[in-house]
Structure 1
Amino acid sequence: MKGLKWLSTASAIGMGLVLFMGALVTKTESGEGCGTDWPLCNGKFVPAYTIESMIEYSHRFVSGIVGILVLAAAIAVFMRLRHSGEAMLFAFGALFFTVLQAILGALAVIFPQSDAVMALHFGFSLVAFATSLLLTVGIRTGAYVPSTGGSGRRPRTDGGSVPMTAGMRRWIWVATIYSYVVVYIGAFVRHTESTGGCLGWPLCNGEIVPTLEGATGIAFVHRVAAVGLLALVAYIGHRATRSEPASALLRKSANWALLLTVLQIASGASVVWSLGSDWYLLTALIHVVLVSGLFGVLCYMSVLGWRARRIG
């Protein structure tokens, strides 16, 4: 299992890097750095030494390496853990979404895509990262036991049975799905270049509710959606601390989710404040890292709820 631990960890870290580099491509407008050629860059195996082409081609190269790692992890899981439906779901889910986002990225280079479709590219990459992360956490915490032949053994869950009410499970699943919607809207803001639609924070162009047209409407909807996510996560954190059966793992996960939500909103504000400055790229990339971590934590809490339902 040691080799599988390192392989799954490398896949998760790699998918996180792919997410980061994809955001860098978008923020630096390097998507056309290789023209309409794929997998070559402007018809060459080694691209011209321009910033845009190097950023785009580096993203492609790293994505290819990570794709191989994800494939190897899926094969290893099939060889060692195919008795575990959960491990197989995460391993082959990561492989599926890695291939899907790669195909979508290639099509975006060869054929112009709408902003709505390009926002899905980030969304699929995020799901690939989350499933890779969940597989890694499951393996490294001992949630899956290698088959010993015959019918094998049932997989353990880390920490044993996690107490969780049906209501709590539903709230967590709603928050996870809703967070994906917020992420998609954020990706849509980036691809439509609507970040400047709402200048100032927390007010939008000096108004509580601005005129909901064009870039302003898109940016404002994202802000409202983010506030809704904060309310959801805060309520879950309150229930985990005050109302739920004692579970240190659930409380810790809820606290991390709340912290990351607050930091994500703060980083969103810093993106607005840094518009037009040298800090803009850094704050935008930090925003992507934080929202990816938040989605990963919420997905893990959803898995805890799923396990509790199976056990209960």
Structure 2
Amino acid sequence: MSTSVSSRAFRVFSWFTLAYTLAVVLWGAFVRATKSGAGCGDHWPVCNGEVVPLAPTVQTLIEYTHRVTSGLALVLAVVLCVWGLRAHAKGHPVRKAAAASLFFMLTEAAVGAGLVLFKMVADNESIGRAVWMAVHLINTFLLVGAMALTSWWAEGRERLTLKRQGLTGWLLLGSLVGLLVLGVSGAIAALGDTLFPATSLMEGLRQDMSPTAHVLLRLRVLHPVLAVGVGALVVFSAGMVTRLRPSPAVRRAAWQLGVLYVLQLLAGLVNVVLLAPEWMQLLHLLLADLVWVVLVRLSAAGLALGAPRADVKPRPDMDASVA
């Protein structure tokens, strides 16, 4: 197999692994939304003490399917890492990104196992479960981000650098941290919707504002506020980075980010109005993951070694040499 064909095959495989992983993440959200996390009891990795459940309930099938698909995702991550290391020379950024993908896939499996073994599933309303959900969301974003970078650098893009990035680096760092915080608040809000479903929009508002409301409901109110604030930061940062690093890749990613974030806000509004049906929760999460992927790509493009820099003027000696 020629080098070009091998590179193309790895690039396609890296995108497939990312897409499949996103599908597994969505199914995991479906497990939470349907309260099927205890479908296999508190057993892991077996299901109710069996390798293959012989008389499964619907909840058992949902949870078991998630475990099987998650296992395949781990296999894909192993292949991605081994292939990435073997197909790229020492020092190539794909090697680090692929290794990070496998690392975060392993921690993702560990967090998932912890949720089951410590019974942080189904109707558990504890603050501990909210903390586990936050850790799960952050790890998922890091996993997806590492896979997105693997695909990005598999396309032959330049490595990034954090040195002397100035305002561009701070804007992108703030946007990344902001989306992580927003994602955590979204995970907690979704948990509140699952545990304390409302029959009407007014009832939901009364739940949120009640002085005796569960802490998860009180935290749920923060999510839409954060969504608007973080959205303003992300869109502003994308526009500024486009000016500071005026490359086609940056402009394309910034445009995609703006469109996706508007769709994400609209989906969030519809989710609230419709009282968070399961299908809308999944669509909302998918858009959140896509926003994260595009922001990671924007960061890689804006911080690339060879990215044009509008904030750096040529030195006089360079002008003289050119003249």
**Matching residue within 132, 141, 146 for 1:126:** 141
1:18-33 paired onto structure 2 within 5 Å: 18-33=24-39
Whole-angstrom CA distance in 2 between matches of 1:263 and 1:310: 29
Query: Residues 85-234 of structure 1 correspond to what in structure 2 (within 5 A)?
Result: 85-113=92-120, 114-115=128-129, 116-139=131-154, 141-143=155-157, 156=158, 166-192=166-192, 193=194, 200=201, 205=205, 214-234=215-235
Q: Write the distance in 2 (CA, Å) between the matches of 1:300 and 1:65.
A: 25
Q: How many residue pairs are counted as aligned between the two chains?
A: 288
Residue of structure 2 in register with 1:55 after alignment:
62
Secondary structure of the 1:293 match is: helix
Quickly say closer, same or farther: Cα 1:237–1:3, change in 2 above 3 A.
closer
CA contact under 8 A between 2:189 and 2:217: conserved in structure 1? no
Q: Mark the CA change 1:244 to 1:311 in structure 2 (over 3 Å): closer, same or farther.
A: closer
Larger mean CA deviation between 90-99 and 302-311 belongs to 302-311
Structure 1's consecutive aligned runs of 4 or more residues displaced over 6 angstroms after TM superposition are: 309-312
For 1:66-125, what per-residue CA distance to the aligned partner results, in whole angstroms no more than 9, with x for missing partners? 111111111111112142342122111111110001011112112234221133223212
Percent identical among aligned pairs is 25
* Pair member with larger Rg: 2
Give the C-alpha shift of residue 181 in structure 1.
Answer: 1.0
Which sits farther off after the overlay, 229-238 or 16-25? 229-238
Cα drift, residue 210 of structure 1: 5.2
Q: 1:12 aligns with which of 18, 23, 27?
A: 18
> Residue deviations 1:142-185, cap 9 Å, x none?
23xxxxxxxxxxxx469xx9xx9732332122101110111011
Is 2:49 the counterpart of 1:40? no
Deviates most, 164-173 or 57-66:
164-173
- Indicate conservation of the 8 Å contact 1:15/1:128, yes or no: no
TM-score by length of 1: 0.82
Cα RMSD (Å) of the superposition? 3.0
In the alignment, does 2:301 pair up with 1:304?
A: yes
Query: 1:243-301 CA deviation, whole Å, 9 max, x = no partner?
Result: 4353222122111111111111111111111127xxx1111100000000001111111
| Structure 2: segments with no counterpart, 5+ residues | 1-6, 121-127, 310-323
| TM score, norm. by length of structure 2 | 0.79
In the alignment, is the contact (CA less than 8 A) between 2:245 and 2:302 conserved in 1?
no
